[in-house]
Amino acid sequence: MRPSIPAGRRAFLAAPALLALPARAQGVRELLNVSYDPTRELFRDYSAHFVREWQAQHRQTVRVNNSHGGSGRQARSVIDGLAADVVTLALAYDVDAIAERGLIAKDWITRLPQNSAPYTSTIVFLIRKGNPKGLRDWPDLVKPGVAIITPNPKTSGGARWNYLAAWASAKKHGQDPEEFLGRLFRQVPVLDTGARGSTTSFVQRGQGDVLLAWENEAHLALKEFGAGQLEIVYPPLSILAEPSVAVVDANAERRGTRDLAEAYLRGLYAPAGQEVAVKHFYRPRDEALLAKHAQRFPPLELVTIDGAFGGWAEAQRTHFSDGGVFDRIYRPGR
Amino acid sequence: MNAAEDPRWLRALVAALALLVGLLLLALPLAAVFTEALRRGWEVALEAILEPDSLAAIRLTLLVAAISVPLNTVGGLAAAWCIAKHDFPGRRLLVVLVELPFSVSPVISGLVFVLIFGLQGWLGPWLQARHIQVIFALPALVLATLFVTFPFVARTVLPLMQEQGRAEEEAAATLGADGWQIFRRVTLPNIRWALLAGVLLCNARAMGEFGAVSVVSGHIRGQTNTMPLHVEILYNEYQFAGAFAVAALLALLGLVTLAAKSVLERWSGRAVGEAG
């Protein structure tokens, strides 16, 4: 028999041709925003808004592409060559890591107002409806029999904020913070790599009594899964989380997108951008807007990373580097 | 002692156990995927699949498979042919190399490409200076898929080629056929069913690969997300119906591939090759 390309195989080869490359219209400008996990919904909305604005003002069609993942991992991808025009990450340290490789100017944090963080968030407790374990403040978390869900501070930006908020609270209560964190992490049954993974563990799989979560992530979970099963508890003290944004200079220059990239980030500070942030449960920088939504964002005592920990570089070195405090207190399986 | 001499009850018990395990571990999860996908009706599932980002993921998955499967067919065939029909220094090394992707975790193979083509890697700066994007783009997705699926064709046709030996080829050579003629007229017809089975398995894996592709993808929605990555994204965005709809489609593509393989096996009248 003569060998020939079988019909099935020919059809298989033809199929992609039918679907072939998406129609990429001429003259569409593209912008890539590399972001962290819980901002998916925020940037889906904001990017759509930005595309409309830019079209109206400049008569140019823009396509904003979004990439999401754990903040540290996303920074690593940009360092390895993911062509982000802007990064919108969970913490300044991850942007610093990119700046260290020369892709972002070292003084990036001063280029935009308020530490280049157009919105803020904080760390709250997401608990089961009715608060069966009576969790009101950080010390309640280490009561016997309370299972705590938090992601791994080694890989997750949110988890580092969780950890530092707990640390600040222990200090305020006059406890030994290292001992407190050690007890806390002994009551963590599963350490996911990212914030969204932890939320899924807590909400979908029903693990744990309390999820240490970004305020926005907690509100989103409440919205998605109904207030019938979950509630949010605001501890008396938490941390001011400032998710940082920056233009990736090397990429923006190379791709000729600096004007777009800068407008995209500046727009986050504009009234419309702040409204989008509020809609997705991020605390706006606009004081009037924040006051208007005081019900959604109840005031609480917030420590800052600079005030309480001497900045990210210091906090990272002391707590999360190899051999740091976290490595000392966390021993899996003990 | 051969199987026919085993007591009847033992054979029945073993068969029942195997079937039970098969049902629990394989059929049940598959059924769950389809149930979840259709939980909120056909329309919702279809809508999730026709959403632009999903379509882009489907397109990309088919494109990656369409590039890497033919390349691996040729490459795998060449490797198997060299190993089975020729003696040369380094033959054993080639055998090891062919099997390497099976023994290396896909995540590691993905990281290797980051190390080679990443901006901090060996070729990254050189490539960027020439405006060539390899990592976090289609080329890296294809490379990672090529690496992971390389053994399928080679491993499926190799045993058959070795079993058939070199007698027919040598006979053809004495009759004056040149190398290409021998390959086309003698070797290829002898292994065509095994080859086809290998190609189908390779295709199933190419479409379903997650680990290696996840490392080199960059996860840009609508651009560098393949179907398996898109499923994860939808799931993480609480879009469970959509996640399972795309997962079901992916499973369906795999099932069609497997069905095609078993039809071929029946058609050819004998079991061809062995599952990789």
Chain B residue with Cα closest to A44? B221
Number of domains in chain B: 1
| Two structure tokens written together for A41 | 């919904």
Any idea what the Cα angle at residue B118 is, between residues B113 and B123, rounded to 5°? Answer: 90
In chain A, residues with a C-beta closer than 8 Å to the C-beta of B218 are: 67, 77, 82
Distance (Å) from the C-alpha of residue A88 to the closest C-alpha of chain B?
Answer: 14
Domain that holds residue B63: 41-268
In chain B, residues with a C-beta closer than 8 Å to the C-beta of A79 are: 119-120
Reported for B122-126, long-range contacts at CB under 8 A and 24+ positions apart, including other chains, are B124/A80, B124/A81
B161 φψ region: left (φ > 0), alpha (ψ -120 to 50), beta (else): alpha
CATH number where B119 lies: 1.10.3720.10
Residue B112 lies in a domain: yes
The number of residues in chain B equals 276
Q: With 90 as the cut, is the pLDDT of residue B85 above it?
A: no
Who among A37, A66, A81 is closest to B136 (CB)? Answer: A81
* Contact (Cβ atoms closer than 8 angstroms) between residue A80 and residue A86: no
Any idea what the Cα angle at residue A96 is, between residues A93 and A97, rounded to 5°? Answer: 90
Please give the Cα distance from B192 to B272 (Å, whole number). Answer: 9
Section B166-180 average pLDDT:
88
The tens digit of pLDDT for each residue in A4-22 reads 444 444 444 444 444 444 4
Section B189-217 average pLDDT:
92
In chain A, residues with a C-beta closer than 8 Å to the C-beta of B260 are: 8
Q: Kindly state the helix (H) or strand (E) to which residue B250 belongs, with its residue range.
A: helix B240-268
Who among A19, A67, A197 is closest to B220 (CB)? Answer: A67
Q: What pLDDT score does A294 carry? A: 93
* Contact (Cβ atoms closer than 8 angstroms) between residue B190 and residue B160: yes
What is the overall mean pLDDT for chain B? 89
- Inter-CA distances, B187 with A76, B157, B172, Å: 48, 11, 10
Q: Averaging pLDDT over each range in A294-303, B190-199, B266-275, which range is the top one? A: A294-303
| Two structure tokens written together for A183 | 């007890």
| Two structure tokens written together for A60 | 């140019």
Residue B50 lies in a domain: yes
In chain B, residues with a C-beta closer than 8 Å to the C-beta of A15 are: 62, 66
Name residue A246's beta-bridge partners.
Answer: A87
Which of A334 and B65 is assigned the larger pLDDT? B65
Section A32-37 average pLDDT:
93
Q: Which domains does chain A have, with CATH numbers?
A: 29-119+242-292 (3.40.190.10), 123-239+304-329 (3.40.190.10)
Torsions phi, psi for A173 (to 5 deg)? -85, 5
Q: Does B133 contact chain A (CB < 8 Å)?
A: yes
Q: What pLDDT score does B190 carry? A: 87
Q: What pLDDT score does A333 carry? A: 52
Q: What pLDDT score does B4 carry? A: 59
Chain A residue with Cα closest to B136? A82
Section A211-215 average pLDDT:
95
Residue B16 lies in a domain: no
Percent over 70 (pLDDT), chain B: 96
CB contact under 8 A, A80 and B184: no
Chain A residue with Cα closest to B52? A22
Q: With 70 as the cut, is the pLDDT of residue A27 above it?
A: yes
SS3 string, chain A, reads CCCCCCHHHHHHHHHHHHHCCCCCCCCCEEEEEEEEHHHHHHHHHHHHHHHHHHHHHHCCCEEEEEEEECHHHHHHHHHCCCCCCEEECCCHHHHHHHHHCCCCCCCHHHCCHHHHCCEEECEEEEEECCCCCCCCCHHHHCCCCCCEECCCCCCCHHHHHHHHHHHHHHHHCCCCHHHHHHHHHHCCCCCCCCHHHHHHHHHCCCCCCEEEEEHHHHHHHHHHHCCCCEEEECCCEEECECCCEEECHHHHHHHCCHHHHHHHHHCCCCHHHHHHHHHCCCEECCHHHHHHCCCCCCCCEEECHHHHHCCHHHHHHHHHCCCCHHHHHCCCCC
pLDDT band at A156 (very low <50, low <70, confident <90, very high): confident
Residue B23 lies in a domain: no
Q: What pLDDT score does A331 carry? A: 73
Q: How far is CA A272 from the centre of its chain?
A: 21
Residue B166 lies in a domain: yes
Chain B residue with Cα closest to A39? B237
Residue B252 lies in a domain: yes
In chain B, residues with a C-beta closer than 8 Å to the C-beta of A69 are: 219
CB contact under 8 A, B238 and A224: yes
Percent over 70 (pLDDT), chain A: 91
Name residue A29's beta-bridge partners.
Answer: A62
The tens digit of pLDDT for each residue in B131-153 reads 899 999 999 999 999 999 999 99
